[in-house]
């Protein structure tokens, strides 16, 4: 953190981990602390990894298991690498190209599989240490790679007495600097569900592992997406007096209902996952509207159900069938279903499926809610005058 607050003192943060390792190693060696319960690294083998391309086999009874394991490991490592990259991209204000990340990680693992390496990914701990040291360019990775190579070749015996607790402290100190409490509070204010995802990911990484923490966060995020798809946002609209604007009745105090109209809006694609929910939801709204009129002893009567589709950007065959079934349900109640502003794809599929052209009638299809209400209101008044 010192390197970020005072850039001229970057060498303090950069040298602190190295100084901690040297001092702690010397103390353990001088006082023989490894014999008094202090866990140390122990004896390490010198030299670079031996080549392993002669050990690669693409046949045998375990090939299927290896392919499954490799696929799962690749997905986890890629997810971890991109997640770590985006974390530091947000801190440093730059963009992460997912395609380049996939190519880089894949190429590293291909080379690594020929040189006895572990699965390679964007390591969170090493990235955090690098960030905390004040590194700004990829040259730091080159220097780190050369340093690791020199260490493997010549300095491995010197780390025999290095205590594990110091290595853990270096990583924890670096990671603590990445915790952004104001950002977490901002997420809490904006979206409680996103805060739950963030909290589960944080706790999972801290108490289990990076892989499981990310897996938990991804699982909860997928559940959120599925919940939004199967339970799309629907709302009842009303008119702002003196204008031709229609907004959510629960968001604007000045909005009022238009007598004789039930104006509904759907803000999600209509497909097989949510048609049952939408049908039940709209039917319940119609029943509640009629019941409320009976309780308040209003005699204006409900004549039209207007469905605003301006936010529906996609529809499938189940969605088209839903609109047809909804029209039949509405007509059985003595009402008329009116569609407003269906977009290009929705309009095309309705035209293909609507053989009787019920939805294409001039009195059943409008560009705006205001136009629909104005036109249909005059129709109601004309029918009332004729009845008189």
List, for residues 335-368, the tens digit of each pLDDT value. 888 888 888 888 888 888 766 566 667 667 888 8
Quote the strand ranges of 318-383, DSSP E.
Answer: 336-340, 365-366
**Residue 290 contacts by C-beta under 8 Å, 6 or more apart in sequence?**
302
Query: Does the pLDDT at position 4 exceed 60?
Result: no
List, for residues 35-47, the tens digit of each pLDDT value. 777 888 877 777 7
Domains annotated for the chain, with CATH where assigned, are: 2-178 (no CATH), 180-230 (no CATH), 234-387 (3.30.750.24)
Q: How far is CA 259 from CA 170, 305, 373, 377, 388, in A?
A: 69, 11, 10, 9, 20
Pairing of strands 234-239, 365-366: unpaired
Query: Does the pLDDT at position 251 exceed 60?
Result: yes
List, for residues 333-344, the tens digit of each pLDDT value. 888 888 888 888
Q: Which helix (H) or strand (E) is 246 found in, with range?
A: strand 246-248
Chain mean position to CA 275: 24
> Which of the two residues, 322 and 74, has the higher pLDDT score?
322
Residue 330 to residue 209: CA distance in whole angstroms: 54
List, for residues 304-324, the tens digit of each pLDDT value. 888 998 888 888 888 888 888
Split at pLDDT 50, 70, 90, the class of 228 is: confident
Split at pLDDT 50, 70, 90, the class of 299 is: low
> Which of the two residues, 219 and 47, has the higher pLDDT score?
219
- Determine if the pTM surpasses 0.75: no
């Amino acid at each position: 953190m010192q390197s970020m607050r005072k850039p001229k003192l970057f060498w303090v943060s950069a040298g602190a981990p190295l100084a901690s390792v040297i001092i702690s190693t010397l103390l353990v060696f001088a006082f023989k602390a490894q014999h008094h319960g202090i866990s140390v690294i122990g004896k390490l083998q010198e030299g670079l990894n031996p080549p392993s391309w002669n050990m690669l086999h693409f046949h045998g009874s375990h090939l299927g298991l290896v392919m499954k394991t490799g696929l799962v490991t690749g997905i986890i490592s890629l997810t971890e690498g991109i997640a770590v990259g985006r974390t530091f991209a947000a801190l440093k204000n730059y963009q992460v190209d997912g395609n380049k990340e996939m190519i880089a990680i894949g190429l590293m693992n291909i080379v690594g599989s020929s040189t006895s390496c572990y699965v390679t990914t964007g390591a969170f701990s090493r990235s955090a240490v690098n960030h905390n040291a004040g590194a700004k360019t990829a040259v730091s990775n080159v220097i780190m790679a050369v340093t690791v190579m020199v260490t493997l070749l010549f300095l491995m015996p010197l780390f025999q007495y290095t205590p594990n607790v110091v290595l853990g402290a270096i990583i924890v100190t670096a990671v603590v600097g990445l915790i952004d409490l104001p950002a977490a509070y901002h997420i809490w204010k904006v979206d409680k569900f996103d805060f739950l995802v963030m909290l589960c990911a944080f706790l999972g990484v801290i108490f289990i592992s990076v892989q499981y923490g990310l897996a938990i966060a991804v699982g909860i995020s997928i559940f959120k997406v599925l919940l939004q798809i199967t339970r799309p946002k629907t709302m009842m609209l009303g008119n702002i007096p003196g204008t031709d604007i229609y907004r959510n009745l629960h968001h604007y105090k000045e909005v009022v209902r238009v007598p004789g109209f039930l104006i509904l809006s759907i803000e999600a694609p209509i497909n097989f996952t949510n048609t049952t929910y939408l049908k039940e939801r709209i039917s319940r709204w119609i029943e509640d509207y009629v019941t409320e009129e009976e309780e308040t002893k209003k005699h204006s009567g409900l004549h039209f159900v207007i469905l605003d589709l301006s936010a529906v950007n996609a529809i499938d065959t189940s969605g088209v069938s839903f609109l047809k079934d909804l029209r039949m349900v509405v007509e059985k109640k003595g009402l008329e279903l009116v569609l407003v502003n269906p977009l290009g794809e929705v309009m095309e599929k309705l035209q293909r499926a609507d053989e009787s052209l019920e939805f294409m009638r001039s009195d059943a299809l409008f560009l705006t809610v205001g136009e629909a209400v104005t036109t249909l209101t005059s129709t109601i008044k004309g029918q009332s005058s004729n009845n008189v």
